Structure 1
Amino acid sequence: MKLIGLSFLASLAVTSVAAQTGGSIIDHGLPDDLNGSNFTYPFPLKLYKFTSQRQQLEMAFMDVAPTGTPNNKTAILFHGNFFCGAAWNETIHVLAHTGYRVVVPDHIGYCKSTKPTHYQFSLAQLATNARGLLNTLGVGNVTVMGHSFGGMLTFRYGLMFPGSIDEIVVVNAIGMEDYVGKGVPWIPIEESYATSRESTFASVQAYENTTYYVGLWEDRYDEWVQMVVDVFFGSKRDAFCWNQAQIVDVVLNQPIAHDFARLQPRLLLMIGEKDTTAIGKTWAPPDVAATLANFTALAHDVSAQVPNCTLVTFPELGHAPHISNPDIFHAALVEWLTTGTTNSTIETR
């Protein structure tokens, strides 16, 4: 009976994924203020309209054609929690010049995508949404690249859809450690929601200055703060703050840190070592907080577990190396994508 039950559940899972891969693409007539964000994106926006969890949703995305000699490959980029797809601007240009078609969605709950009031957020659901978008676009294999929360999502995507991945690139992912497993107390979504509603330009800037840019703030970073603050104070403010709280719950309750050894695609792990990001660090007991966000140790631990991993570290950079020093970051990225190696490699397995 147990085996039959597992087989039945597995068949349901396959059916569920298949049911969410359909949808339609809207590529014209989109409002400037879309799903609570009026930020101007660097490339034209499209909408993937689909059904998930018995409701109609809209996933905004950019679909950028190669500007260099096409290599017949597609890259999909996953943004982090305090970012939108637009923050990948420089990386999009670099990948398109290298020959990639580049697809960059805003996850459900973020930026210019639907912010549902009732939705069971999970890494698996967001990964399924992304695979559904690619299927609707007629895209097969992809290079999957994610930063921060998007990096955590990339790991989950790599575990779910290994046969449709050329390679994965992860940049300063959160979730490389099990926060609750290390002693971070779980908090109710209502508490995260209240904290989210307190966000301002000054608070977001201060947080990013410390963790993303290690105290070396530059005026050009203001654009990315304004991008997310526009959503915090936009027409979907309340829903966005609630979705932000739900994402915190996902990170705490759906650890990825125990699954790295099962990753099949080759991985480029890119780490700014001065990053101090850890979900729950601000409310964890001091002795627990002191054990979190050692990205140098985490990077080597993860790279030792993944069967085919190249690790690149940036000793003087923080949580967003692709923004704080795009030249050295993209040089290492393109070299690895085109040759399989990089002169910046610290450890290769």
Structure 2
Amino acid sequence: MIKNFIVFTAIFLSFQLTNAQDNKLEWLDIELSNYEYPFEVSTVTLHIQEQELKMAYMDVKPDNYNGKNVMLLHGKNFNGAYWETTIDSLTKHGFRVIVPDQIGFGKSSKPQHFHYTFQQLAKNTKALLDSIKVSKTAVLGHSMGGMLATRFALMYPETTEKLILENPIGLEDWKLKVPYKPVEWWYHNELKKSYEGIKKYQLESYYDNKWQPEYDQWVNLLAGWTLNSDYKTIAWNAALTYDMIFTQPVVYEFKNITSPTLLIIGTRDRTALGKPLVSDEVKKTMGLYSKLGKETKEKIPNAKLVELDNIGHLPHIEDFDRFIKPFIKFLEE
């Protein structure tokens, strides 16, 4: 039995190494210390839930600063690095840009234990802004970042000058259709992740089976972590944030948003949490962004909607020009 176990382990490790080499994967540190972000990264230390945690962020100040700030909040499968072209464009227009990595993501701490709530993440983000003396900012949130941006705007309306939601998730309450799964279920799903599985998900869910070479980097960032001996910690944090997303909807509070709001919606998007857990019939009713964008605009007072046809979950990656023009226009109004 021991001999068989040794042989199996050797085969598994060999497979991992071959997988990494075939896909040119780089082993990534748990806090991405060996991955370079497009701009200088700073950190703020936060005392949260009886522990010291490090929150990483980029703070990019242009020479032609116009006195206005923009904060960019990343999605669940991403970190601040994917905002590079957005930061470049905003700073050329004179905006100071603040880009946090939330706790559990990117270059920020991955705690062994943490109670994730959107309120806690919003509070962490406000503490970051306070530490760099930013009292007012426009806030853009993409995907999960859209749920966080909504919670931030509800908690700190005096700070949120404008709210921009780019294909946010949470425009519907999945609990009404999807059976609840405990954190352990999400955790075991995360442990199964591989380069092939991550790419397949992004190809089908984000890009409508149309892959571009520049998309590889966002797969590699997640897949590179699977080679890390601390991957269990990363997977556990990812599972906790899935539970947060599923159990803490913001959809019922859109009516309470007071900030001027812009929705930028790629209408081809079909992202919805828990699709593998429902029937094909139910699945067809979930993640219909061409419908959800319009419904959400009606729920948020003083909201505008820009729909991008034939664009999926990542407008700022898939078609940057169509994303950035309405975004800049809204900021300058």
TM-score (norm 2): 0.89
Q: What is the RMSD of the two structures over their aligned residues, measured on CA atoms?
A: 1.4
Tell me if 1:308 matches 2:327. no
Paired residue for 1:52?
A: 48
Q: Which residue of 2 aligns with 1:102?
A: 97
Match of 2:109 in 1: 114
- Contact 1:65–1:100 (CA under 8 A) maintained in structure 2: yes
Deviation at 1:228, TM superposition (A): 2.2
Corresponding residue to 1:64 among 60, 63, 75: 60
Structure (1 or 2) with the greater helix fraction = 2
The residue that corresponds to 1:209 in the other structure is 203
Superposed displacement of residue 33, structure 1: 4.3
Note if contact 2:261-2:304 (Cα within 8 Å) is conserved in structure 1. yes
Q: 2:210, 2:121 → 1: CA distance? A: 33
2:141 partner SS:
strand
Write the letter of the residue equivalent to 1:189.
V
Match of 1:129 among 75, 100, 124: 124
Q: Which amino acid aligns with 2:142?
A: H
Deviations 1:52-88 (A, max 9, x none): 1110000111111125x21111111110011110001
Tell me if structure 2 keeps the 8 A contact 1:38–1:230. no
Q: Which SS does the other structure have where 2:46 is aligned? A: strand
What pairs up with 1:262-301 in 2 under 5 angstroms? 262-301=256-295
Match of 2:168 in 1: 173
Aligned match of 1:257:
251
2:152 counterpart residue number: 157
Query: What is the one-letter code of the residue matched to 1:231?
Result: W
Note the C-alpha offset of 1:37.
5.2
Count of residues paired in the alignment: 306
Deviation at residue 288 of structure 1 after TM alignment: 2.4
Looking at structure 1, the residues matched to 76 and 183 of structure 2 have their Cα atoms a distance apart, in angstroms, of 16
Alpha carbons of 1:161 and 1:195: their partners in 2 closer, same or farther (altered >3 Å)?
same
Please, what TM-score do these two structures have when normalized by structure 1? Answer: 0.85
Superimposed CA distance per residue, residues 266-308 of structure 1 (whole angstroms, 9 cap, x where no aligned partner): 1110011111110101112333222100101110000001111
Report the counterpart of residue 248 of structure 1 in structure 2: 242
Q: Measure the CA separation in 1 of the matches of 2:242 and 2:217.
A: 24
What's 1:220 paired with? 214
> Does the aligned pair in 2 maintain the 1:37–1:111 contact within 8 Å?
no
Structure 2 unpaired stretches of 5+: 1-27
Q: 2:189 maps to which residue?
A: 195
Q: Distance in 2 between matches of 1:171 and 1:220?
A: 20
Contact 1:59/1:107 (<8 A) preserved: yes
Alignment partners' CA distance in 1, 2:263 and 2:62 = 24
Give the corresponding residue for 2:223: 229
The CA distance in 1 between the partners of 2:276 and 2:326, in whole Å, is 33
Q: Secondary structure at the match of 1:143?
A: strand
Residue number in structure 2 paired with 1:3: none
Q: Which 5+ residue runs of structure 1 have no aligned equivalent?
A: 1-31, 340-349
8 Å CA contact 1:84, 1:227 repeated in 2 = no
